[in-house]
Amino acid sequence: MAKDSKKVILVCSECMSNNYTTTHRRDSGKRLELMKYCPKCGKKTLHKETR
């Protein structure tokens, strides 16, 4: 893992389940938001980075 990256957890915005972990650059200043598949909801939903 690079020095300027950190491990983050992505949470589904609908059911609030922790589904994914990934790395994110620290210098961006914004929370990571991705459209990912949620197995609990059964569809693609917005997943946001937790703090």
In this structure, are residues 27 and 4 in contact, taking their beta carbons and an 8 Å threshold? Answer: yes
Q: What is the pLDDT of residue 51?
A: 78
pLDDT tens per residue, range 10-42: 999 999 999 999 998 877 678 899 999 999 999
pLDDT at residue 3 tops 70: no
CATH of the domain at 36: 2.20.28.120
Q: Is 17 in contact with 40 (CB distance < 8 Å)?
A: yes
DSSP 20: E
Confidence label for 1 from pLDDT (cuts 50, 70 and 90): low
Residue 9: domain span: 5-49
CB 19 within 8 A of CB 11: yes
- Indicate the number of domains in the chain: 1
